[in-house]
Amino acid sequence: MGFRVFLALGVAASIGLGSLAAEAAKPRKKPPMAADDRYAALVVDAETGEVLLARDAELPRHPASLTKIMTAYMTFDALERGRLRLSDRLPVSVHAANQSPTKLGLQAGERIAVEDAILGVIAKSANDAAVVLAEALAGSEEAFAEAMTQRARRLGMRQSDFRNASGLPHPEQFSSARDMAILGRALIRDFPQYYGYFGRASFAYAERVYRNHNVLLELYDGTDGIKTGFTNASGYNLVASAVRDGRRLIGVVFGGESASWRNQHMMALLDRGFGKMSDAEVQVASASARTKAAKGSVVAAAQAQPVRPAEPRAVQRAAPAPQGSIETSFAVQVGAYRRIETAETRAIEAARLVPRLLAAAPVAIKSSQDSKGPLYRAQIAGLSKADARRACDRLKERQITCVVVPVEH
């Protein structure tokens, strides 16, 4: 019988973006990651950098096509400095044309306008277009990747090492949820005149219309960017920006189990983030959901002071939140399903309906087997019996069937 916990929240901190300091030394090679260590999440106030929700936000993760956010940042910088114009037509090399999908299908020897390449990178996540931009700016993709890493250091992205312009798999290409939030803030701050490209729902090129992979632009009110990513090594990644009542949040998710789960999870995180922005103090909970010792348990909510970097370019690690103790051995179960994606979605949707009681509770999927195959029970865990009963009562008021169950350890 398996038990998987997908969401827990980390410590409060602050991401600094100020004056640029001298470039840091070349980063050390990151250690390999275990196959299960793909998940990370972060939600920050885009204006202040205050961290509202976090989980494993400073640990190295494979960015996949989130890499293209930095490619876009470098391109916008070149446009701002006059090194490129949107109307410039860039040559397509054999190397660019030979990139693996996803791509526009560019042919070696043809040319593509800078603006079309930008839209291809952002909306289609086109690897060939990313390499075209890289070669135009640095002469080669390898040199461009080195420049990306150097710029990342100046922005304060301490966990990021880039090895290509597209995010295609590379064992030494890493970033982190915190670094991607820093990059998102920097891009919106430094290039507001170009940031709108990330909000384009579609674009047309060579008699074809391409839809933006970021479906939150249509699903979540206030979303205006930024970028999705996926490889087998990374899982389903997303950086999203949303504005409500004049306040902007940036959310980051690494290692989603599916595209639908990633999207639902991001929406739930943003809901919680907007809910916390009005609070005088941010209450957070931290848990290690992937260790065998945890077995689905959750550490009680605790307070932590924001951490502000001594130098704007550096991101300091937050001190661990003090751990409390509380009986959290019950869960609200909202159904059993044949598909794990359905179970995940139902649990996340239920948690969003009762945020006061379930905002800090981890969504969990309990797997079992019957004569028809796998069965996945959708649960919101880490609750006291009283809170579980109250949450279930609220769900029943909304016509959601649920039961309170003890968590098996």
Catalytic residue among 14, 30, 68, 176: 68
3-state helix, strand, coil in the chain (%, to 5): 35, 25, 45
Can 65 be counted among the known catalytic residues?
Answer: yes
Tell me the residue ranges of DSSP E strands in 100-222: 111-113, 202-205, 208-211
What is d(CA 335, CA 183) in angstroms, rounded to the nearest whole number?
A: 39
Nearest to 164 by CA among 108, 120, 77, 100: 100
Can 295 be counted among the known catalytic residues?
Answer: no
Can 202 be counted among the known catalytic residues?
Answer: no
- The strand order across the sheet containing 51-55 reads 51-55, 40-45, 247-256, 235-244, 223-231
Nearest to 150 by CA among 32, 310, 313: 313
Catalytic residue among 14, 30, 93, 125: 125
Q: How far is CA 193 from CA 68, 73, 79, 80, 211, in A?
A: 18, 12, 11, 10, 22
* Neighbour count for residue 177 (Cβ, 10 Å): 32
Do residues 309 and 156 lie in contact, with contact meaning Cβ atoms separated by under 8 Å? yes
Catalytic residue among 14, 65, 93, 176: 65
What is d(CA 277, CA 274) in angstroms, rounded to the nearest whole number?
A: 5
What is d(CA 301, CA 185) in angstroms, rounded to the nearest whole number?
A: 27
Tell me the residue ranges of DSSP E strands in 76-182: 89-91, 111-113
- Alpha carbon of residue 107 to chain centroid: 32
Just list the catalytic residues.
65, 68, 125
